[in-house]
């Protein structure tokens, strides 16, 4: 590790803290219907949309109605996308004459983009027409909003008293789209184009290289798509190579800006949360717990990468950091930060090959996803997961103050515990269950390119990424094989819906409860003590269950590597 590297990571983290408040205040203004600069331009549009669609702005929904609206919205999005991909060849805007997408891949991709996972079992520039890319882009716009809407509803459940309803999904959707997604993506795209992204609808360029070879240079509306996917924490890159591609990320500055975009909403939401519950310390504590875990993970990852590969060092005499799979223009520190962020914030685009990270680096990326994507996490769902952990932490330790546990004045009863446990069970079952299936079935084994612990890491990574709706890939796995397109597809669905039904159910139950006013006898859910407790809960209850699996994957590989042992063979 170098001093500038560590300093850079620290400064970036500090910047996230600074960014939280203005972002949070803006979100608060949007959802609390206060004045914003955009109102004169956007408010009329909003009204027109409601009139056309017949949405009653003042209609309030119970949690079930809210969830059904959300589900219907996602289902329609999936079906439209699936069909569009299957008949891609017959649709316009296909200058490169891309063929129809097969059923397995279309299912996987459809699920992937509607669940804001954006796991790509395909190479974008070699599979998708511009029309399809535009459809995908549309989902990249819309799918994060579902996640954000869920946390809006959840927070309403915490703050409203003796009520039944959690808001109106369509209103949350429209307001997010008009006030948050569109303006921010637009600004982001302009900046990214300024930082070197192409933005056009032309055919790919064929270039004759100096050596006399022929090279096809893919291009397209990259700036726009890049801005949308980073802002929405989607990560479905335009190019298969994703953020490492020079057209997606020309410079380190561009990469930094993409990170800022990715962090902006999730970080702002924590402040928004504090603002809504009328105690900003609550929001800061959540953000603090998230950032401590993020910073810890990032520094460990950077340390592992900076230390490099001991075998290369010993046998070949290559000293210095592990540069395999990294862009020289980013270097180990920035690459580490970006890869840590992509798994933490769940945007899933990669600027380096995660498969080539040192085992400990791979371990960090895995653990950030296995935690349930609560270390920052994507739009809304990261905060939602963290709040579910807070409910659990309150219940585990809250009894210790001698009162029925309560979170923000709401008593946590057996129903809430049942639902929180359900939400917690999903990632464990899906990741461990599917991974166990993959490493024992013919279909699963056939797609694993590396033997030994690294192969296991690849499998674990795929399902962690799926269930966490992360979308980043470790690589080294035949993601397009039907076994993986279907199982990862299911993991994505479970990760999104099976986890958030219970979360909304908790909100639906809490909203009906009276709130107990705070007193000296109230369990404090802010401050360092609770932050520490929250971290301990995430680590012990959320992540340690993966310890046995991880010890056979990255940990085994790490210790073997440092004792000079390799697992040979394979390779794609």
Contact predicate 544/427, CB 8 Å = no
Among 565, 566, 569, 570, binds another protein (CB under 8 A): 565
CA distance 313 to 320: 8
- Pick out residues in 373-412 that bind another protein (CB under 8 A): 392, 395-404, 409, 412
- Is 516 a binding residue for another protein by CB under 8 A? The answer is yes
Does residue number 311 form part of the binding site for another protein (CB under 8 A)? no
CB-nearer residue toward another protein: 333 or 393: 393
Is 523 a binding residue for another protein by CB under 8 A? The answer is yes
Please report how close the Cβ of residue 147 comes to another protein at its closest, in angstroms. Answer: 24
Q: Which is nearer to another protein, 93 or 559 (CB)?
A: 559
Tokens of residue 231, six digits = 């802002």
- 204-212, 243-251, 276-284, 417-425 -> range binding another protein (CB under 8 A): 417-425
Give me the torsion for CA of 499, 162, 175, 72, rounded to 10°. Answer: 40
Q: Check residue 552 for interaction with another protein (CB under 8 A).
A: yes
Q: Per CB under 8 A, which region of 4-12, 277-285, 361-369, 523-531 contacts another protein?
A: 523-531
330 touches 304 (CB < 8 A): no
| Under rule CB under 8 A, residue 549 binds another protein | yes
Nearer to another protein, 166 or 394 (CB): 394
> Considering the complex, what minimum distance in angstroms separates the CB of residue 270 from another protein?
22
Under the binding rule (CB under 8 A), the answer on residue 163 touching another protein is no
251 binds another protein (CB under 8 A): no
Considering only 44-52, 102-110, 230-238, 551-559, which stretch makes contact with another protein by CB under 8 A?
Answer: 551-559
- Taking CB under 8 A as the criterion, the residue among 89, 310, 524, 570 binding another protein is 524
| In contact, 492 and 503? CB cutoff 8 Å | no
* Of positions 37, 93, 201, 559, contacts another protein by CB under 8 A: 559
Choose which of 92, 517, 568, 571 interacts with another protein (CB under 8 A): 517
Cα-to-chain-centroid distance, residue 105: 21
Q: Quote the least distance from Cβ 311 to another protein, whole Å.
A: 13
Window of 143-151, 316-324, 369-377, 419-427 that interacts with another protein by CB under 8 A: 419-427
Q: CB under 8 A: which stretch of 209-217, 302-310, 464-472, 546-554 binds another protein?
A: 546-554
CA nearest neighbour of 251 among 325, 201, 193, 170: 193
**106 or 426, CB closer to another protein?**
426
Query: How many residues line the site for another protein (CB under 8 A)?
Result: 68
The token pair at 149 is 């809407």
Give the strand pairing for 410-411 and 205-208: unpaired
Beta carbons within 10 angstroms of residue 233's beta carbon: 36
Site stretch for another protein (CB under 8 A), options 100-108, 140-148, 188-196, 433-441: 433-441
131 Cβ contact partners less than 8 Å away, ≥ 6 residues apart:
84, 88, 91, 92, 93, 94
Q: 377 is written with which tokens?
A: 């996490």
Please identify which residue in 53, 209, 211, 414 interacts with another protein, judged by CB under 8 A: 414
- The Cα 5–Cα 408 span in angstroms is 39
Q: Using the rule CB under 8 A, is 568 a contact of another protein?
A: no
Stretch that binds another protein, among 219-227, 346-354, 431-439, 502-510 (CB under 8 A): 431-439
The C-alpha atoms of residue 155 and residue 148 are separated, in whole angstroms, by 11
Rounded to the nearest 10 degrees, how much is the dihedral formed by the CA atoms of 341, 346, 347, 348?
90
Burial of 177 per CB tally in 10 Å (0-12, 13-18, 19+): middle
Where in 451-490 is the site for another protein (CB under 8 A)? 452-453, 455-456
**8 Å CB contact between 513 and 411:** yes
Is 129 within 8 Å of 101 (Cβ atoms)?
A: no
Run of H or E residues at 207: strand 205-208
Q: Which of 80, 439, 480, 481 binds another protein (CB under 8 A)?
A: 439
308 Cβ contact partners less than 8 Å away, ≥ 6 residues apart: 318, 319, 320, 321, 322, 358
* Cβ distance to another protein smaller for residue 246 or 527: 527
Instruction: Using the CB atoms, write b or e for 431-458: b if 16+ within 10 Å.
Output: bbebbeebeeeeebeebbbbebbbbbbb
Binding of residue 502 to another protein (CB under 8 A): no
Is 138 a binder of another protein (CB under 8 A)? Answer: no
Question: For the packed helices 381-398 and 414-438, what is the interaxial angle rounded to 10 degrees?
Answer: 120
Per CB under 8 A, the list member of 212, 317, 521, 571 interacting with another protein is: 521
428 binds another protein per the rule CB under 8 A = yes
To the nearest whole angstrom, how small is the minimum distance from the Cβ of residue 468 to another protein? 17
In whole angstroms, the minimum distance from the beta carbon of 464 to another protein comes to 14
| Number of neighbours of residue 376 by Cβ within 10 angstroms | 28
Q: How many CA atoms are closer than 13 Å to the CA of 47, on its beta-carbon side?
A: 6
Query: Could you tell me the smallest distance in angstroms from the CB atom of residue 135 to another protein?
Result: 37
CB of 497 or CB of 562, closer to another protein: 562
Residue found under tokens 């022929």: 214
Interface pick for another protein out of 123, 296, 433, 443 (rule CB under 8 A): 433
Say how far apart CA 558 and CA 565 lie, in whole Å. 10
The pairs formed by 417-422 with CB atoms below 8 angstroms and a separation of 24 or more are 417/391, 417/392, 419/502, 419/503, 419/505, 419/506, 419/509, 420/388, 420/391, 420/392, 420/395, 420/502, 420/506, 421/392, 422/502
Residue 292 binds to another protein (criterion: CB under 8 A): no
Residues of this chain, 43-102, that bind another protein according to CB under 8 A: none
Q: Which of 61, 149, 462, 555 binds another protein (CB under 8 A)?
A: 555
Binding site for another protein (CB under 8 A): 161, 392, 395-404, 409, 412-414, 416-418, 421-422, 424-425, 428-429, 432-433, 435-437, 439-440, 452-453, 455-456, 514-517, 519-524, 527, 529, 533, 536, 540-541, 544-549, 551-552, 555-556, 558-560, 562-563, 565
């Amino acid at each position: 590790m170098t001093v500038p590297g560590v300093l850079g990571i620290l400064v970036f983290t500090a910047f996230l803290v600074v960014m939280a408040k203005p972002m949070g205040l803006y979100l608060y203004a949007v959802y609390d219907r206060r004045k914003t600069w955009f109102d004169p331009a956007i408010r009329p549009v909003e009204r027109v949309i409601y009139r056309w669609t017949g949405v009653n702005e003042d209609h309030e929904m119970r949690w079930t109605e809210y969830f059904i609206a959300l589900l219907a919205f996602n289902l329609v999005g999936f079906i439209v996308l699936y069909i569009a991909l299957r008949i891609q060849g017959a649709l316009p805007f296909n200058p490169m004459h891309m063929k129809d997408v097969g059923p397995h891949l279309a299912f996987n991709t459809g699920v992937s983009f509607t669940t804001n996972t954006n796991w790509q079992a395909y190479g974008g520039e070699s599979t998708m027409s511009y029309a399809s890319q535009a459809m995908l882009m549309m989902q990249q716009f819309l799918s994060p909003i579902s996640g954000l809407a869920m946390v809006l509803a959840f927070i309403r459940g915490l703050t409203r008293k003796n009520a039944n309803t959690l808001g109106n999904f369509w209103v949350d959707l429209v307001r997010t789209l008009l006030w948050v997604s569109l303006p921010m993506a637009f600004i982001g795209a302009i900046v990214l184009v300024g930082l070197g992204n192409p933005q056009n609808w032309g055919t790919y360029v064929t270039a004759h290289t100096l050596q006399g070879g022929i090279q096809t240079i893919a291009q397209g509306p990259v700036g726009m798509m890049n801005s949308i996917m980073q802002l929405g924490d989607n990560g479905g890159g335009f190019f298969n190579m994703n953020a490492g591609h020079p057209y997606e990320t020309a410079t380190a500055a561009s990469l930094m800006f993409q990170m800022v975009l990715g962090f902006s909403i999730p970080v702002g939401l924590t402040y928004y949360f504090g603002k809504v519950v009328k105690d900003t310390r609550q929001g800061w504590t959540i953000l603090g717990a998230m950032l401590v875990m993020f910073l810890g993970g990032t520094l460990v990852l950077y340390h592992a990468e900076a230390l490099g590969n001991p075998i290369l060092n010993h046998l070949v005499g290559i000293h210095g950091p592990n540069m395999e799979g990294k862009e020289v223009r980013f270097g180990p520190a920035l690459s580490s930060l970006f890869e840590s962020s992509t798994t933490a914030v769940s945007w899933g685009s990669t600027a380096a090959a995660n498969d080539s990270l040192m085992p400990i680096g791979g371990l960090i990326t895995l653990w950030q996803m296995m935690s349930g994507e609560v270390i920052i996490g994507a739009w809304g769902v990261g905060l939602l997961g963290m709040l579910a952990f807070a409910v659990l932490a309150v219940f585990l330790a809250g009894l210790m103050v001698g009162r029925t546990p309560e979170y923000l004045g709401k008593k946590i009863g057996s129903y809430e515990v049942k639902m929180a446990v359900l939400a917690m069970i999903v990632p464990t079952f899906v990741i461990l269950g599917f991974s166990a299936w993959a490493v024992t079935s013919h279909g699963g084994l056939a797609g694993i390119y590396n033997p030994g612990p690294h192969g296991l890491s690849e499998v674990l990574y795929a399902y962690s990424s799926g269930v966490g709706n992360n979308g980043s890939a470790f690589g080294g796995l035949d993601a397009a094989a039907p076994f993986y397109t279907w199982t990862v597809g299911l993991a994505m669905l479970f990760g999104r819906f099976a986890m958030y039904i219970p979360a909304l159910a908790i909100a639906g139950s809490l909203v009906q409860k009276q709130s107990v006013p705070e007193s000296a006898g109230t369990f404090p859910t802010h401050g360092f003590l609770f932050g520490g407790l929250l971290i301990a809960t995430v680590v012990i209850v959320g992540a340690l269950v993966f310890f046995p699996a991880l010890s056979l994957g990255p940990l085994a590989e790490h210790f073997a590597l440092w004792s000079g042992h390799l697992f040979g063979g394979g390779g794609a």
